[in-house]
Amino acid sequence: MARGVGSSDGKRRPITARELARMIGVSQSAVSRAFTPGASIAAELRQKILKFAEEQDYHPNAIASMLSKSRTNIVGIVVSDMSNPFYPALIQKLSQGLQRIGLQSLLFNITKGSNIEEQLSALRRYNVDAVIVISATMLSGATLHWATEGRAAILINRVVEDADINCVCCDNVEGARAIADHFHELGRRRVAYVSGLSHTTTNLERQNAFITRIAELGMTLTGRVDGGEYSYEAGRRAALEIAAKNNADAIFFANDILAIGGIDALREDVGKRVPEDISVAGFDDIPMASWPHYALTTFRQPLDEIVTVVVGMLEDGSCQPGQPSSVRRISGGLIVRHSTGPLG
Amino acid sequence: MARGVGSSDGKRRPITARELARMIGVSQSAVSRAFTPGASIAAELRQKILKFAEEQDYHPNAIASMLSKSRTNIVGIVVSDMSNPFYPALIQKLSQGLQRIGLQSLLFNITKGSNIEEQLSALRRYNVDAVIVISATMLSGATLHWATEGRAAILINRVVEDADINCVCCDNVEGARAIADHFHELGRRRVAYVSGLSHTTTNLERQNAFITRIAELGMTLTGRVDGGEYSYEAGRRAALEIAAKNNADAIFFANDILAIGGIDALREDVGKRVPEDISVAGFDDIPMASWPHYALTTFRQPLDEIVTVVVGMLEDGSCQPGQPSSVRRISGGLIVRHSTGPLG
DNA sequence: ATATGACTTGCATACGCATTCAACATGAAC
DNA sequence: GTTCATGTTGAATGCGTATGCAAGTCATAT
């Protein structure tokens, strides 16, 4: 049999609270209390114990603590798409925010090939204190419900209004309207829209708000293309499709990575000038959006605020089951760069 | 006091093995065995128990299992830089590879601002079965040793030859030499080198191999600039510094994200033509390297193979403490695109 | 001097599962 | 029919910590 990770040989067993207690001549309870903030223990004794603990390299065993407290201090983070640079950035900030309040991040990567239910069953077996689902386009509503049932859960950038689920989400309507208004101010009148996954809530909100707004402004929707995924390549394909019809003077891509693919296709493959011939806007404000070649006009998702809100909900318990669920919309901001401009 | 994540109200306690056993009329041991592959239990009884478990929605509590087996099935992944797109891609594939053999990924984000020792103490308290350190430039050798001491550990893209630590690493020497040879074949003779963090082992290996090779080939090193970090902005600054001296006809950047920043600076800020005036090469082959505007010639790090090797070491236990440690070099491949070309 | 209360401390037990050990059943071999 | 090997099961215990409870200490108030 393969020995594998975790086989016991080679690891010297760490010292336990009981052993440390015996050395010092106190009870195991005392050791436990020394490490429990606010526990009933004399300051003097606590110091003594902590000093010995330091010397003996004693560390409380978090596993045992989990078992007896039935609280793990672990948050499951469910992700489905790390190839969009927006998400690594979010995950990084999120995991740092969680670490700041003493929570660890257990990562769950959901992809097409994998057995989702089996992976998510780990959420239950590991007793994670909370689940944060980051735009898991792979998850059906039923799976989502099953995975989060009975525990604290927050969805980021996916909204389920009717179900009893907490959502934290950039204000997609605000963003899409801002882009529409911006196109209008630039004199663009014939605009197209490119979605990533058409059924995702982020897309539906952006798309509907955008189309509604351009109608209000008297502009024409010349095309609507679904890329099939939120990727650079999908953006390229969609842009080519739109360019073939040759009747749009502006394109709003559902996110930045699509938009960047779109810009490359327009310039490299069909020789369009961006922004003169066709203006392009995206959504997210990923790092590449500010690269000069793209200089992408976009609607910024405020990562820090999103993380702050999520961490806050975890901290104050407002995402606990039993608490009323809420949908928090975080306001973003239009970033105007050079991928949009007057007709020229 | 804030209620916070994990407060007990609102969660109904899941059923335990003992309760399930009582319902069925068997012992708790039997339930445990039913869920333990290879355990001594009649196939018939196992099926019966599994059927009831399904009905009663019983799931073994992984925490309790950890405590009694002193094996967590959790791997700590220590990361310091998610802003370089290479790492999210690696993390994604890695966590999927781990999930495939039943291991979960606990993520540790190390950044300048954070208290590293405090964060890494969680590695010990949580009893992770193994630690994978991904190019943690933030970690001193001592901290690294402390964090991984006495447990299975693998460093990815950081090499510590003398210490007793397992390393899996792209063959930097092979890559740097390939770039040098490529420059030479193109007729470039005056080359510069840009490092990210000069003291990192990836940099030292690439730099030394590159410089050695260009000397062998009779080429001139016109400059060597340290960017101070592996970032787009650092690449820009370094490129400007080199362009100011105006005596290089090719630049090898220590990685792709630097190179991309460099290309933008050369083209946008100082009006150089890439590749005609200056050829540029990077290292990693991140997704952006294939974007047509950059079309970056680079040395590809074989992500899948790296992950395969790491997962294999975890699976066969060859990274356990007590086992002889090894440094595995994974061979990559030169990807020639249009950021390098003949003088023109 | 006694009563009261606030603090401290240790004992014992619970947390849920894995595993050892002994008991038992079954069937084959003699 | 007896013996032995093999396979199956349950009782009991351990994993390391947290915590309710009772006992104890000490100072203050009466």
Q: Do B317 and B275 belong to one domain? A: no
Q: How confident is the model at residue B2 (pLDDT cuts 50, 70, 90)?
A: very low
Is A214 inside any structural domain? yes
* Residues A37-59 pLDDT 10s: 999 999 999 999 999 999 999 99
pLDDT score for B154: 96
pLDDT score for A5: 67
A24 touches strand C (CB under 7 A): no
Among A137-146, A285-294, B191-200, which is the least confidently predicted range?
A137-146
Is B343 inside any structural domain? no
Q: Do B114 and B184 belong to one domain? A: no
CATH of the domain at B40: 1.10.260.40
Q: What is the 3-state secondary structure (H, E, C) of A137-168?
A: CCCCHHHHHHHHCCCEEEEECCCCCCCCCEEE
Distance of CA A8 to the CA centre of its chain: 37
Q: Chain B: residue nearest A38 by CA?
A: B1
* pLDDT greater than 50 at residue B67: yes
* Residues B284-324 pLDDT 10s: 999 999 999 999 999 999 999 999 999 999 999 999 988 89
Strands of A10-150, DSSP E: 74-79, 104-109, 130-134
pLDDT score for B8: 44
CATH of the domain at A160: 3.40.50.2300
Q: Is A333 on the interface with B (CB under 8 A)?
A: no
Mean pLDDT within B222-243: 96
**Given B99, B124, B320, which is nearest A109 (Cβ)?**
B99
Residues of chain A with C-beta less than 8 angstroms from the C-beta of B8: 70-71
Contact B287 A7 (CB under 8 A): no
**Given B88, B96, B122, which is nearest A104 (Cβ)?**
B122
Q: How far is the CA of B25 from the C1' of D11 (A)?
A: 15
Q: Tally Cβ neighbours within 10 Å of residue B261.
A: 24
Q: Is B91 on the interface with A (CB under 8 A)?
A: yes
Mean pLDDT within A103-130: 89
Residues of chain A with C-beta less than 8 angstroms from the C-beta of B127: 61-63
Is A341 inside any structural domain? no
pLDDT score for A12: 65
pLDDT score for A146: 86
CA–CA separation, A202 and A205 (whole Å): 5
Q: Is A264 on the interface with B (CB under 8 A)?
A: yes
Distances (CA, A) of B84 to A264, B98, B199, B230, B257: 21, 22, 18, 7, 7
Strands of B6-129, DSSP E: 74-79, 104-109
Q: How far is the CA of A64 from the C1' of C14 (A)?
A: 12
Q: For chain A, first and last CA: distance in Å?
A: 71
Contact B62 A107 (CB under 8 A): no
Mean pLDDT within B254-258: 98
pLDDT score for B6: 53
Q: Which 210-239 residues of chain A touch chain B by CB within 8 A? A: 232
Percent of chain B past pLDDT 90, that is, above it, reads 82
Q: Do A297 and A191 belong to one domain? A: yes
Angle, in degrees to the nearest 10, between helices B172-185 and B201-216 = 40
CA–CA separation, B228 and A9 (whole Å): 42
Residue with tokens 């090779």: B213
Q: Do B116 and B184 belong to one domain? A: no
pLDDT score for A2: 44
Mean pLDDT within A114-143: 86
Q: Do A189 and A292 belong to one domain? A: yes
Tell me the nearest-neighbour CA distance from A246 into chain B, angstroms: 22
Among A285-299, B105-119, B302-316, which is the least confidently predicted range?
B105-119
CA–CA separation, A182 and A255 (whole Å): 16
Is A4 inside any structural domain? no
Q: Do B282 and B182 belong to one domain? A: yes
Closest CA to A287 of A257, A261, A258, A264: A257
Q: Do A120 and A269 belong to one domain? A: no
Q: Do B232 and B325 belong to one domain? A: no
B182 touches strand C (CB under 7 A): no
* pLDDT greater than 80 at residue A113: no
Q: Do B129 and B182 belong to one domain? A: no
* Residues B150-180 pLDDT 10s: 889 999 999 887 778 999 999 999 999 999 9
Q: Do A83 and A183 belong to one domain? A: no
Q: How confident is the model at residue A177 (pLDDT cuts 50, 70, 90)?
A: very high
Q: Do A286 and A140 belong to one domain? A: no
Give me the numbers of helices (H) and strands (E) for chain A, helices first please.
Answer: 12, 12
Q: What are φ and ψ of residue B104, in 5° steps?
A: -100, 155
User: DSSP state, A200?
Assistant: S
Tell me the nearest-neighbour CA distance from A39 into chain B, angstroms: 14
Q: Do B316 and B294 belong to one domain? A: no
A62 touches strand C (CB under 7 A): no
Residues of chain B with C-beta less than 8 angstroms from the C-beta of A8: 70-71
Residue A194's domain comprises 172-301
pLDDT score for A10: 46
- Kindly report the average pLDDT of chain B as a whole number: 93
* pLDDT greater than 50 at residue B183: yes
Mean pLDDT within B44-56: 95
Percent of chain B past pLDDT 70, that is, above it, reads 96
Higher pLDDT, A311 or B114: A311
Is A2 inside any structural domain? no
Q: Is B307 helix (H, G, I), strand (E, B) or coil?
A: helix
Is A323 inside any structural domain? yes
pLDDT score for B81: 84
CA–CA separation, B336 and B216 (whole Å): 22
Is B344 inside any structural domain? no
User: Could you give the count of Cα atoms lying within 13 Å of A64 in the half-sphere of its Cβ?
Assistant: 11
Tell me the nearest-neighbour CA distance from A114 into chain B, angstroms: 8
Residues of chain B with C-beta less than 8 angstroms from the C-beta of A70: 8, 13
Residues of chain B with C-beta less than 8 angstroms from the C-beta of A316: 2-4
* Residues A179-215 pLDDT 10s: 999 999 999 999 999 999 999 999 999 999 999 999 9
- Kindly report the average pLDDT of chain A as a whole number: 93
Q: Using alpha carbons only, what angle is made at residue A10 by residues A6 and A15, rounded to the nearest 5 degrees?
A: 85
Residue B24, amino acid: I
pLDDT score for B318: 92
List all nucleotides in chain C with at least one atom under 7 A from a protein Cβ.
7-12, 14-20
**Given A74, A121, A130, which is nearest B59 (Cβ)?**
A121
Q: Using alpha carbons only, what angle is made at residue B4 by residues B3 and B8, rounded to the nearest 5 degrees?
A: 70
Q: Tally Cβ neighbours within 10 Å of residue A149.
A: 12
**Strand partners of residue B132:** B77, B154
User: DSSP state, A252?
Assistant: E
pLDDT score for A266: 98
What is the number of domains present in chain B?
A: 3
pLDDT score for A117: 83
Q: Tally Cβ neighbours within 10 Å of residue B113.
A: 7
* pLDDT greater than 80 at residue B85: yes
Distances (CA, A) of B323 to A331, B208, B235: 54, 31, 40
